[in-house]
A and B are shown apart, each in its own frame.
Chain A
Amino acid sequence: MRVALFITCVNDTLYPHTGQAVVTLLERLGVEVGFPEAQSCCGQPQFNTGYRHETEPLVRRYAAAFHDYDYVVAPSGSCAAMVRDNYPRIGAKAAAEGRGQELADAAAEAVPKTYELTEFLTDVLKVTDVGAYYPHTVTYHPTCHGLRMLGLGDRPRSLLAAVKGLNLVELPGADECCGFGGTFAVKNAAVSAAMGADKARNITATGAEAVCTVDNSCQMHIGGTLARQGSTVRPVHIAEILASTEGNVW
């Protein structure tokens, strides 16, 4: 089983700690992982803002970087969803515009092997108890792309429920978007901020010490809003919780 990490540009640049947690976790579970350095961004900011053509080199790069692997694991629901949902569209449109089948083939190859981290743990490795220890009260925010595009369902919650010492509290309005939405946060700043403020208030009201997500980009928005509100709740990626053990709380 050849497993590659797709660490994503946001994780790589701003949240390397999350990527390190993914490495720690997967290696603890006996998976040997590779990090092909030719990898880059999935192209989501460009695609979702309307610059589909700008994403094409990144689709090609993704396919080439992970060509030799059986599985690609990403600690990001939205980046995994970008590959799974939108790469086929990008490939099909390029073919329809008369630029040949090459991109469609590259996209088709990338789709089936791309997994979000919690999917990989539960569906491929078939584990829900990863032997983690995290003695904190945590609430879980299911990010939109993980929830609706990937259909992660109960996977993240069942992984968290199996963590020793972790007290999982329900988040009111959990299924509602936090308001990040990539360039939406800048283009419609007022609405994005209003959505974020409501989400942050709901999180704080749970009394949790930490809010867990499967996506650092949503976490950046939620964490930034919480911090501005003066809340002490810390945003934490699920990989960081799952990587924690009794000897080493992440």
Chain B
Amino acid sequence: MPAFPAAADASTRNTQLRANLRHATHTIRAKRATAVAELDDWSSLRAAGAAIKDRSLRHLDHYLEQLESAVTAAGGHVHWAADADEANRIVTELVQATGEREVVKVKSMATQEIGLNGALATAGITAYETDLAELIVQLGDDLPSHILVPAIHRNRGEIRDIFAEKMAQWGRPAPEWLTDAPADLAEAARLHLREKFLNAKVGISGANFMVAETGTLVVVESEGNGRMCLTLPETLISVVGIEKIVPTFQDLEVFLQLLPRSSTAERMNPYTSTWTGTTDADGPRTFHLVLLDNGRTDTLADTVGRQALRCIRCSACLNVCPVYERAGGHAYGSAYPGPIGAILTPQLRGVQSELDASLPYASSLCGACYEVCPVAIDIPEVLVHLRERVVEGGPVSVRGTRTVIKPAKGHAAERAAMRAARWALDHPRVLRTGQRLASRTRRFHPRRLPGPGRAWSDTRELPKVPEESFRDWWQRTRGESGTEGRKTT
């Protein structure tokens, strides 16, 4: 996977992709703004959401143990996974213990993050995605490119072709009458998926929230596929990031308002499923909860970066991000694209790889993401914080141990330039000499810059250097031998 700028360079030239993304993100962002504006206490809700998440994170150990007790008391089984490999191994063994070779899945970011489908496939187990967009991605042998709408990069015509070509390989073929009309596409998916729901013995899900006091898990969704997967199979396995916890059932009051309005621009999502352990004669007989760390406690150890763990995966930040809109989700090389991905991925995975080191720079720091975030994650602040980690290194927590990392490779020239610029800027006489030199040579300035500056002059005209800097103008017209101008007292 190339670094973000190279991947984005290719996707910005894909005009179909840009048109698909522009249409989808602009539609949803306008709807979100309307849905949010309906509530006159939105800013209070937002503050409450941030506060509840912060409290949960501050006492994460306490609430997780409370959750474990509650889930166990309700007849569930709790497993702890330190990383992706461990989580995949646990889930694979749990499925193998049922003797099944097929599972149905509720759309889940945690299982995307750990690459569960691939791990299950290696063990000879087929995982069927049942969310419409995830189904499109799976049938198209593609990767998700959006948190909420994984197939946002596809248009109806492309989806029709994918269904027609691939559905037969995965189960019930697409009907012959299939067109690219949304109702037709939905019906084809419904017929295809219904077989899976009714035959499945094992369901795998994530969760939007986990309630510590009751041991309740919550999934919110729009299609009803989640409700099917969560209630029909005999065994349910839920893989959930440890940061998804909230202390009390009442806390859901806040998040069940914040999440749907921020993500789908709905006042309330169509399906809210809650499950607490197992219940006789209703729902799965066996319930396993796999609690996933995978870099989360290390992220929690960072006082600036930890706010990323408040994220409720609404994707509002993606939908307003001008960079995401042009680069597309795949350029981020992670289950988490867009602004939240640019701060979450380098914390969960570290900044050692070239891709991960490039993610904190995948933003113009315009601040639109922070403005819409329903839990007030100051994404620009964390981006700049992580940029410092990339270029300067510094203290981080790796698997629970404090360590000091070195700067990422490839920033030596930039660091030298930044230092030189700072030195000149901290010596106004040097700055003035440079300005005068630039003014005197202005007729010889090239229209195209060499080196890194080429990236600028390839697509933009350079500003012309003026004959005289402001500094010199001030001194010539107002200065009294370099002192200040007129002032009142």
Task: List the interface of chain A (C-beta within 8 A of B).
Answer: 1-3, 7, 9, 11-17, 19-20, 23, 32-41, 43, 45-55, 57-58, 61, 89, 144-145, 147-149, 175-177, 179-197, 220-221, 223-225, 227-228
List CB contacts (< 8 Å) of B441-489 with chain A.
452-453, 455-456, 458-463, 465-466, 468-471, 473-475, 478-479, 482-489
A2 cross-chain contacts in B, Cβ below 8 A: 487-489
Q: With the chains together, A130 CA to B482 CA distance in Å? A: 31
Q: With the chains together, A60 CA to B391 CA distance in Å? A: 23
Q: Which residue of A lies closest to B486 (CB)?
A: A32
B366 cross-chain contacts in A, Cβ below 8 A: 144, 148, 176-177, 181
- Minimum CB–CB distance from A55 to chain B (whole Å) comes to 8
Question: Which of B389, B452, B455 has the most chain A CB within a 10 Å cutoff?
Answer: B455
Residues B459 and A196 in contact, CB atoms below 8 Å apart: yes
Q: Which residue of B lies closest to A52 (CB)?
A: B388
Stretch of B206-214, B238-246, B424-432 on the interface side: B424-432
Q: A177-B366, A223-B463, A228-B459 are in contact. Are A1 and B488 (CB under 8 A)?
A: yes
Residues B364 and A225 in contact, CB atoms below 8 Å apart: no
- Minimum CB–CB distance from A223 to chain B (whole Å) comes to 7
Residues A228 and B460 in contact, CB atoms below 8 Å apart: yes
Interchain residue pairs with CB less than 8 A apart (27): A2-B487, A16-B466, A19-B473, A19-B474, A33-B486, A34-B485, A35-B485, A40-B431, A46-B421, A47-B384, A50-B389, A144-B366, A145-B367, A147-B367, A148-B366, A148-B370, A176-B366, A184-B365, A186-B453, A187-B5, A187-B361, A188-B8, A189-B9, A190-B5, A224-B460, A224-B462, A228-B459
B456 cross-chain contacts in A, Cβ below 8 A: 185-186, 189, 224
B366-401 to A contact mask, C-beta < 8 Å, 1/0: 111011000000000100101111111000000000
Residues B364 and A181 in contact, CB atoms below 8 Å apart: yes
Question: Which of B13, B365, B367 has the most chain A CB within a 10 Å cutoff?
Answer: B365
Q: With the chains together, A12 CA to B466 CA distance in Å? A: 10
Residues A37 and B459 in contact, CB atoms below 8 Å apart: no
A145 cross-chain contacts in B, Cβ below 8 A: 367
Residues B486 and A188 in contact, CB atoms below 8 Å apart: no
Residues A48 and B365 in contact, CB atoms below 8 Å apart: yes
Q: With the chains together, A82 CA to B384 CA distance in Å? A: 12
B431 cross-chain contacts in A, Cβ below 8 A: 9, 40
Residues A49 and B418 in contact, CB atoms below 8 Å apart: yes
Q: With the chains together, A224 CA to B322 CA distance in Å? A: 19
B23 cross-chain contacts in A, Cβ below 8 A: none
Instruction: Give the contacting residue for B461; candidates A61, A180, A224; CB below 8 A.
Output: A224
Residues A33 and B485 in contact, CB atoms below 8 Å apart: yes
Q: With the chains together, A224 CA to B421 CA distance in Å? A: 23
B1-40 to A contact mask, C-beta < 8 Å, 1/0: 0001100110011000010000000000000000000000
Residues A186 and B455 in contact, CB atoms below 8 Å apart: yes
Residues A223 and B484 in contact, CB atoms below 8 Å apart: no
Q: With the chains together, A188 CA to B321 CA distance in Å? A: 14
B460 cross-chain contacts in A, Cβ below 8 A: 193, 196, 221, 224-225, 227-228
Q: Is B289 an interface residue (CB 8 A)?
A: no
Q: Which residue of B lies closest to A36 (CB)?
A: B484
B391 cross-chain contacts in A, Cβ below 8 A: 49-51
Residues A17 and B322 in contact, CB atoms below 8 Å apart: no
Instruction: Give the contacting residue for A177; candidates B4, B322, B425, B484; CB below 8 A.
Output: B322
Q: Which residue of A lies closest to B434 (CB)?
A: A13
Q: With the chains together, A55 CA to B331 CA distance in Å? A: 31
Q: Is B301 an interface residue (CB 8 A)?
A: no
Q: Which secondary structure dominates where chain A touches chain B?
A: helix
A54 cross-chain contacts in B, Cβ below 8 A: 418-419, 422
Q: A50-B384, A50-B388 are in contact. Are A189 and B469 (CB under 8 A)?
A: no
Question: Which of A32, A40, A50, A54 has the most chain B CB within a 10 Å cutoff?
Answer: A50
Residues A58 and B482 in contact, CB atoms below 8 Å apart: no
Q: A2-B489, A57-B422, A228-B459 are in contact. Are A192 and B473 (CB under 8 A)?
A: no
- Number of B residues with CB within 8 Å of any CB on chain A: 72
- Smallest CB-CB A-B distances: 7 pairs: A181-B364, A224-B460, A50-B387, A189-B455, A177-B366, A148-B367, A19-B470
- Minimum CB–CB distance from B4 to chain A (whole Å) comes to 7
Instruction: Give the contacting residue for B463; candidates A14, A33, A36, A188; CB below 8 A.
Output: A14
Residues B452 and A190 in contact, CB atoms below 8 Å apart: no
Q: With the chains together, A220 CA to B438 CA distance in Å? A: 17
Q: A37-B471, A188-B8, A193-B460 are in contact. Are A46 and B466 (CB under 8 A)?
A: no
B461 cross-chain contacts in A, Cβ below 8 A: 223-224, 227-228
Q: With the chains together, A122 CA to B352 CA distance in Å? A: 48
Q: A50-B390, A177-B322, A191-B326 are in contact. Are A220 and B463 (CB under 8 A)?
A: yes
Known contacts A20-B473, A54-B418, then 16 further A-B pairs from the complex at CB < 8 Å, ordered by chain A residue: A7-B471, A40-B428, A41-B425, A43-B425, A45-B421, A51-B388, A51-B418, A55-B422, A61-B426, A148-B367, A176-B368, A177-B366, A189-B9, A190-B9, A193-B458, A223-B463
A89 cross-chain contacts in B, Cβ below 8 A: 381
Q: With the chains together, A144 CA to B466 CA distance in Å? A: 26
A197 cross-chain contacts in B, Cβ below 8 A: 459
Residues B323 and A191 in contact, CB atoms below 8 Å apart: yes
- Minimum CB–CB distance from A120 to chain B (whole Å) comes to 15
A144 cross-chain contacts in B, Cβ below 8 A: 364-368
Q: With the chains together, A39 CA to B386 CA distance in Å? A: 29
- Minimum CB–CB distance from A110 to chain B (whole Å) comes to 16
Q: Which residue of B lies closest to A78 (CB)?
A: B365
Q: Is B435 an interface residue (CB 8 A)?
A: yes
Q: Which residue of A lies closest to B426 (CB)?
A: A57
Q: Which residue of B lies closest to A69 (CB)?
A: B487
Residues A58 and B463 in contact, CB atoms below 8 Å apart: no
Q: With the chains together, A14 CA to B466 CA distance in Å? A: 6
Q: With the chains together, A12 CA to B470 CA distance in Å? A: 5
- Minimum CB–CB distance from A220 to chain B (whole Å) comes to 5
Residues A195 and B392 in contact, CB atoms below 8 Å apart: no
A43 cross-chain contacts in B, Cβ below 8 A: 422, 425
Q: Which residue of A lies closest to B484 (CB)?
A: A34
A51 cross-chain contacts in B, Cβ below 8 A: 388, 391-392, 415, 418-419, 422
Q: A35-B484, A58-B425, A225-B459 are in contact. Are A46 and B418 (CB under 8 A)?
A: yes
Residues A48 and B387 in contact, CB atoms below 8 Å apart: yes
Q: With the chains together, A145 CA to B365 CA distance in Å? A: 9
Residues B12 and A191 in contact, CB atoms below 8 Å apart: yes
Residues A195 and B364 in contact, CB atoms below 8 Å apart: yes
- Minimum CB–CB distance from A193 to chain B (whole Å) comes to 4
Q: Which residue of B lies closest to A18 (CB)?
A: B470
B304-326 to A contact mask, C-beta < 8 Å, 1/0: 00000000000000000011001
